[in-house]
């Protein structure tokens, strides 16, 4: 699915990095990301083995595998910024709690509907955040 999603982005559009989960740890996905001149942040599966270094995508994946084995998965996730993906997925889950789909048909109204949902999410987050007040020096 990832190569088809990348094809939807205009060819002249610059893609800095692509952060996806371990399900996209395939040669096809790696090649699609490298062809778009982007950096792939894909965790190697726990039972992942080195690939034959016959293309740049395999070389990049093997480097990720070496770094994961040398430093550990947790450190690798922090070092590459992969841990941010979890926060984004949590926000999307909150967004889906308001409803699985957008009810408006007009693109301008869809944009307004999403902006309202995001404003509601931000307001609910603000209501649930504790206020810390210093009482003594």
- In this structure, the number of other CB atoms found within 10 A of the CB of residue 108 comes to 8
Q: How far is it, in rounded angstroms, from Cα 104 to Cα 112?
A: 9
Q: How far apart are CA 116 and CA 120, in angstroms?
A: 6
- Residue 3: CB atoms within 10 A of its CB come to 15
d(CA 86, CA 75): 15
**Sequence-ordered list of residues with C-beta below 8 angstroms from that of 62, at least 6 positions apart, any chain:** 50, 51, 53
Residue 108: the pLDDT is 92
Q: pLDDT tens, position by position, for the chain (137 residues)?
A: 888 988 888 888 888 888 888 888 888 888 888 888 888 888 888 888 888 888 888 888 888 889 988 988 888 888 888 888 888 788 778 777 777 777 888 989 989 988 888 888 888 777 777 778 888 87
Cβ neighbours of residue 103 closer than 8 Å, sequence gap 6 or more: 113
């Amino acid at each position: 699915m990832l190569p088809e999603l990348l094809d939807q982005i205009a060819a002249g559009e610059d893609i800095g990095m692509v952060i996806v989960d371990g399900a996209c740890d395939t040669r096809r996905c790696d090649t699609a990301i490298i062809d778009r001149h982007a950096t792939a942040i894909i965790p190697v599966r726990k039972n992942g083995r080195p690939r034959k270094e016959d293309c740049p995508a395999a070389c990049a994946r093997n480097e990720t595998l070496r770094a994961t084995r040398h430093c550990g998965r947790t450190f690798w996730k922090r070092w590459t910024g992969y841990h941010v993906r979890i926060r984004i997925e949590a926000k999307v889950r909150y967004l889906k709690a308001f409803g699985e789909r957008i009810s408006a048909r007009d693109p301008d109204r869809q944009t307004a509907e999403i902006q309202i949902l995001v404003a509601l999410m931000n307001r609910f987050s603000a209501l649930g955040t504790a206020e810390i007040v210093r009482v003594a020096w």
